[in-house]
Every structure is written in C-alpha cells, then in structure tokens.
A and B are shown apart, each in its own frame.
Chain A
C-alpha cells in the first residue's frame, strides 16, 4: 500500500531564504508526482508535475526533483516571499489505480516579512 510522508509538517522562514520541502513515498510504481499549493480554506493549485522518468522540473522560482528509486522528491523554493505562505502537498498516482492520488499530509509554510 502506497504511503506518502512530508517532512517537516510546518516551516517558518524569513523572507528571501531559499528552502526545501521533502516528500517520500513507499512504492516506486508511480506514473508521476505532483506538487500542489493550498491556501487556507481553498482548493488545490497544481504547481509542478514530474513524470516518473524525469529527474527535475522547474517553474519560475520552484524546482522539483524526483528520485524514484529512493522514493523521494524535493520542492525547492528560491528567494521565498510572504506570498509563498501556504500548505504544500505532494501526491502520487500509483500504477493501475485509475489515476487516483495518494497525498502526503502537507507542509505548512510561513514566510515572515
């Protein structure tokens, strides 16, 4: 059974810092890995999707890496801003399970001005 874990559960940094969020999963039989952002009381916004054969994906100040063999992904945020404050979730769709996503519990990020 696929399990996804995110560490840390919460993180507080001063504005301008570079930071890394971690995601680990127990079964490497996945199609891809998605990172999402969730603002309080809102839905999920897709940030990045890394295909299972890829190692990295970049979008603006965000860079996500994937090491499928070790069951790990990281989300790197450069030059953090107060507007980056949100909960960040990673999720994987296991093979042959209809594309449903298994989520981690999220990392709540607070960027202080």
Chain B
C-alpha cells in the first residue's frame, strides 16, 4: 500500500494552455475524489467516482474541467484554456465505499500556477 499518489507535484503553465493531472488511488479503494484548495481555505469538493462512474460534479467544475477514471483505477483531471483563477492546489483522495467507518486518504496534491 503506497498511499494516494499524484503527478505532477507542481505545474506552471501559461494562461490559455491545457493541463492534465493524474491521481493513483489506494488500490482497493473504489471511490476517488478531486478537491481544489486555495490559499488559506479548506479544500472544496469538485467531483467523485465510484469505480469508473462519475457520480457527482460540483458547480465549481466549469465546462473547461473534465475528469475521467477509465478503468476504475487511476484518474485524470484536465483543465482546458487555463485562467489565472485556476491557480490552486488540486487534491485527490480515495476511500472504500461509504459508511460510518469510511476514512478518506489524500495525496500530496498538485500545485498549479497559471501565469
């Protein structure tokens, strides 16, 4: 069990470029979540998958954002035509299917800077 892994750790991009982030969850976890965190704030939910199905998308996830989890294992989050307001830490988490004892485990995050 290597924990949740995210790649890259840091990304600097020019406004208008597309970026893609990857998340590898803990292997036996069937739920995968994406969050966004800006400086001084708690993480905000973006979207989640149960196996390969994307079950919920937040209103924060504009049409420039797309997420996939094609085989129910790793997930990608793509941002098209990046804007300066997209600069944030993007966090991935995974868990087993819900219940009172379900614990979420987070990766180290991808820090995006749009210049």
Interface residues of A (CB under 8 A from B): 4, 31-32, 34, 36, 41-46, 49, 51-53, 89, 91, 93, 97-106
Contact = CB atoms under 8 A, between A and B. Distances in A.
Given A4-B42, A89-B42, A101 B109 contact: no
B2 interface: no
Contacts of B6: 43
A103 B99 contact: no
A99 B98 CA distance: 6
Interface residues of B, number: 33
The 7 closest A-B pairs by CB, nearest first: A103-B42, A44-B106, A99-B98, A43-B108, A51-B100, A100-B45, A43-B109
Give the interface centre of A4, A42, A99, A105 by most chain B CB atoms within 10 Å. Answer: A99
A98 B48 contact: yes
Contacts of A52: 100
B101 interface: yes
Interface of B: 4, 6, 31, 33, 35, 40-45, 48, 50, 55-56, 89, 91, 93, 95, 97-109, 111
Nearest to B33: A100
Contacts of A104: 42
Contacts of A41: 89, 111
Given A41-B89, A46-B105, A100-B56, 6 more contacts: A49-B101, A51-B100, A98-B56, A100-B33, A103-B42, A103-B43
12 contacts: A31-B98, A31-B102, A34-B104, A36-B106, A43-B109, A49-B103, A89-B42, A98-B50, A99-B102, A100-B48, A103-B43, A105-B40
A102 B45 CA distance: 7
Contacts of B31: 98-99
A41 B89 CA distance: 8
Contacts of A101: 33, 35, 43, 45, 93, 104
A42 B43 contact: no
Nearest to B6: A43
Contacts of B45: 100-102
A41 B100 CA distance: 30
Contacts of B97: 99
